[in-house]
Chains A and B, each alone.
Chain A
Amino acid sequence: MIKHRLFWPLCVLAGLLLFNLIYSPDFFSIKMRDGHLYGSLIDILNFGSPLILVAIGMTLVIATSGIDLSVGSVVAITGAMACLSISRSADQNALMTILIAVASALLLSALLGLWNGLLVAGFGIQPIIATLILMVAGRGIAQLITNGQIITVLSPKYQYIGAGSLFTLPFSIFIVAVMFAAASLLTRKTALGLFIESVGCKPTASRLAGIRSRTVMLAVYMFCGLCAGMAGLILSSNVSSADGNNAGLWYELDAILAVVIGGTSLNGGRFYLTGTLIGALIIQTLTTTIYMVGVPPEITLVVKAVVVLAVCLVQSDKFRGLLRGRGGRGKAGNYPANREVNPHA
C-alpha cells in the first residue's frame, strides 16, 4: 500500500484533517440548516472547487510537458466578461441573459486557451513564455472589460452557479464532479490520454509514430482554458461581482502545486487526475486551516510555504531515504516509491 503513488498525498491530507480535528473538535460536524448542509468540510469542497477545476486543466497541460501560467488571468477575464454582459442587459435575472453570458464567457476562455495552444504548438514558443504573455496581458484585458471598476451584478440566477445548492450540497461541487468525470473519461476511455502522455514524454518519437501532436496540444490548452473559464464563473458568481485586478490572482501557482503534489511530473508524460484532486484538496484544506487557526495575516504565506515544503519533502524518495538512513530504523525494504506498473487498472 505504501508503494501506491497516492499514499503520501493522502497521508498529508489526513494529517491536515487530523490537526484540525484536534484543534477544533467540531471541524467534522456537518449541520443541516434551511435544507442546506453546512460545515468546514463542505466549505473546503465548495471554496476549493475553482482550484480543482483549474488544476484538472493544468494536469493535462503539464502532461504534455508544458505549463499554463495564464489560468489566473483567464479566471479574471471570464468573470469580467460574464458580469459585463449581465450588467448590460435589461433584466439581469432573465434565464436567457444568464445563459448567453455563461456561454460567451466559456467560449472566450476556450479561445484564450486556443491562443496559448497556437503559440506553443503552432509557433514553437516555449510554454512558460507563451502563457506568460497572456498571464500579463490577461489582467489588462480583464481590467479593460471592467473598465477598471468592480462590476457588481444583481442576479440570483447567476449567483446560483457559485453559491447555490443542489440536493443540499453546493452547486459548484457538482460542476467539479462533472468536469472531473469528463476529463477522466476523455483521457482514459478514449486514446487521448495515451496521446497526451506520449507527446509529453517524447515529442519526436510521437510524431514519427503518427500522432498529430499539434492537434493534441491545441486540444489540451483549449481544455485548460475552458477549465479556468468555469473557475472564473464560479468565483465571480459566488461574490456576484467581477474584479479584474484580483480575481484568480496566483491561481496558476496553486494549480501547478496541486498537480505536482498529485504526482504528475513537470517533465511531462504520465499524469494522475486523482492525484491532482487530492493535491488541490490539500492546498484548500491548508488555506482553510490557516484561516481557522487564526494565523496572523502577515505570516500566512510563510506558514503555507512551510507546509508545502514539507509535503514536497515527504514525497521525495531521496529525502525519505536520508531520514531512514539517519534513523537506522523503519522499513527494511528498499522500495522504489512512485514507480508503478499499471496506472490504468
Chain B
Amino acid sequence: MIENEPMLRMTGIHKQFPGVKALSGVNFRLFPGEVHALMGENGAGKSTLIKVLTGVYTIDAGRVDMNGQTIAVHNPQEAKQAGISTVYQEVNLCPNLSVAENIYIGNEPRSLGRIRWKEMNRNAERLLQDRLHLHIDVTRTLQSYSVAVQQLIAIARALSVSAQVLILDEPTSSLDQSEVAQLFKIMRKLKSEGLAILFVTHFLDQVYEISDRITILRNGEFVGEYMAQDLPRIELVAKMIGKELSLLEQLPKQSGEGAERCAEILLEASRLGKRGSIEPFDIRIHKGEIVGIAGLLGSGRTELARLLFGADRADEGHVQLGGYRGMMSSPRQAIDLGIAFCSENRKTEGIIDDLTVRENIILALQATKGWFRAISRKRQDEIAEEYIRLLNINPPAPEQLIRHLSGGNQQKVLLARWLLTEPGLLILDEPTRGIDVGAKAEIQKLVVTLAEKGMSVLFISSELEEVLRVSDRVAIMRDRRKVQEIQGGAARQSEVMQAIAGGEQR
C-alpha cells in the first residue's frame, strides 16, 4: 500500500519568531495513500509546521519537496495550486451560502463572467456523492446541516481543487462518536484513492484507529517518525512529554507524606459534567491536600477545573462544599464559597493589562467586598508590598503596569491575587507554563507550603514530573473523561503515563 517514495518531504525546517524558536530542524514525510498523524503537546510546533506547509508562514531554513521537486509556497493560494489543501479546526466556510457555493467559492464555473449555476450544483453533487458518499441537497444553506456534514463539505471543498495532500487540523474536536466514525470511513476511502492525509488530533484512541504513521514533535524539535503499529501508546506519550520510559522507572519518589494529614473532606463533586465538554466525573478533595490532574492537552483537565469554579456551567451533577450543595453558577459564587482559580490563559483570562501590579493584586479581594467598601489606598499599598516581598515579584514596583512584567512574575501577581482572598481551595491550571525554571521551582514550593498550612490545591499541569512532585493524589484524564486516581505515594510516572495513554491496559 505504501510506496517507497514520499509524496511530500520536508527536511530540516527552521522557523524563528521573535524570541522563540518555533521549529528547529524538523523533518516530515508524507506518503501517498496513508494517514499520518502529527503529534505533540501544546507549543510543540504542530500548527507552525502546518502553517509553513500551507504558506501562511515562510521558512527560515530547510527544504520542501513535493513529488521529487523542491517547491516554495509563499501563500495559501500557492499551496493550493501545489496540491496541498487544508481543513482547519473551525469550519471556516460561509454558513449562509449554499453548499455548492461554499465548495466552489472563488473558482466557480463561469461563462462570460456569469456563473453557470446548474453546472456548479451538478458538480458539487457529484463530488459529494462520488468521493464522500454524501447525498444531500447542495442548494440548501450550509447552516442547515450538522457540524459533521459541514466538516465533510469543508473536505469536499479542499478536494475540489484536485488535492494530493489533505491536511486535517483537529477535524474531530467538535464531532460526536458516530460522526467521527463517518469521518474516518471517508478518510479511509480517500486514503485508498491515493490521497496523502496529514491528521492532527489530541485524541489518542483516534490516532491509533486511523493512522498508519506518526510523527512526534516536542518544543519545536523533531522527536521521530514511527509506524503506528510499532509504537505503543505509552511510548507515544513518553515521547510527547519528553521522558524516556526506562529512565522514569529509576526516578526516586519525592512526595507522599501528605496523605495522612487530609482527613476532612473539603469538596466533593458527584457526577459533575457538561455535554460536549467533559463526561460526568466524581472528585473528592480533602483539606490540606494537593490533588494533581494529569492528562494530555484536550483531555478535559481545564474543563474539570472550570466546572468546579463555575466558569462554565455544568449541566448535570452537583458539588458539595461546606454547607452548600448544588452547581456552581458563576465564578463569583465559587469565590464566595472559598474557591480560587488561576486560569491557564494568563494573558486573556488572568491579568488585566492596563492596571498596575497593585490593582491586579487587590482585584479579587475587592470584588468580594463589593464596590462600595473600598480597600483604602494605604492598605492596598501595604498588601502590594507584602505580597511582592512574599512571592519575590520582580521588579518590586507596585505601580508598574502588569503588562510590563515577565510571564513568571505575572503569574506570581495572579497567585497573590488569589492568596489574598484566603481560599479554601486553590485551583492552579498550568501555573508554571511558559515561565523560567527558577520561578517554576518557587511556585511549586509555595504550593506545598500552602497545603501544609491547610489550603487544598488542585494542581493541573502537562508536566508529569511536576504533578507527581507536588501532589498527594493524582487524578488522570483521558479523552474528556476522568479515568483513574492514583495515590501520590504509590504513583510512579510510568504507571500514570500508562493511565494517560490508556488502551493497552484493558
Q: Which residues of A contact B (CB under 8 A)?
A: 189-192, 194-195, 197-198, 201-202, 204-212, 216, 269-270, 341-342, 344
Contact = CB atoms under 8 A, between A and B. Distances in A.
Contact of A194 (B330, B336, B353, B366): B366
A211 B400 contact: no
Contact of B367 (A211, A341, A344): A211
B374 A212 contact: no
B97 interface: no
B21 interface: no
B371 A195 contact: yes
B372 interface: yes
Contacts of A270: 354
B369 to A, nearest CB: 7
B441 interface: no
Given A194-B366, A205-B349, A210 B332 contact: yes
Nearest to B334: A210
B364 A204 contact: no
A210 B352 contact: no
Contact of A205 (B336, B352, B370, B375): B352
B311 interface: yes
A333 B374 CA distance: 39
Given A191-B366, A207-B331, A210-B368, A198 B355 contact: yes
B82 interface: no
A210 B343 contact: no
Interface in B159-199: none
Given A191-B369, A198-B363, A341 B356 contact: yes
Contact of B352 (A189, A191, A206, A342): A206
Given A208-B311, A209-B363, A341 B399 contact: yes
B363 A208 contact: no
Interface in B320-339: 330-332, 335-336
Interface of B: 309, 311, 330-332, 335-336, 341, 343, 348-356, 359, 363-364, 366-375, 377, 399-401, 417
Most buried by B among A191, A192, A202: A191
Contacts of A201: 352-355
A23 to B, nearest CB: 41
Contacts of A212: 332, 367
Nearest to A269: B354
A205 B335 CA distance: 14
A189 B377 CA distance: 9
A186 to B, nearest CB: 9
Contacts of B336: 210
Most buried by A among B330, B341, B353, B366: B366
Nearest to A206: B352
Contacts of A208: 309, 311, 331, 341, 343, 349-350
B399 A342 contact: yes
B371 A191 contact: yes
Given A202-B348, A269-B354, A341-B356, A209 B364 contact: yes
10 contacts: A189-B374, A191-B371, A197-B359, A198-B359, A204-B349, A205-B348, A209-B363, A210-B331, A212-B332, A341-B400
Nearest to A205: B349
A77 to B, nearest CB: 29
A210 B364 contact: yes
Contacts of B343: 205, 208
A205 B345 CA distance: 9
B350 A197 contact: no
Contacts of A207: 311, 330-332
A269 B367 CA distance: 17
Contacts of A194: 355, 359, 363, 366
A341 B401 contact: yes
Given A208-B343, A210-B331, A342-B399, A190 B371 contact: yes
Nearest to A198: B352
Contact of A192 (B349, B371, B399): B371
Nearest to B330: A207
A63 to B, nearest CB: 10
Which 7 interchain pairs have the tightest Cβ spacing?
A269-B354, A210-B367, A210-B335, A201-B354, A191-B374, A192-B371, A211-B367
Contacts of B356: 341-342
Contacts of A198: 352, 355, 359, 363
A190 B372 contact: yes
Nearest to B376: A189
B348 to A, nearest CB: 6
Contacts of A209: 331, 352, 363-364, 367, 417
Nearest to B343: A208
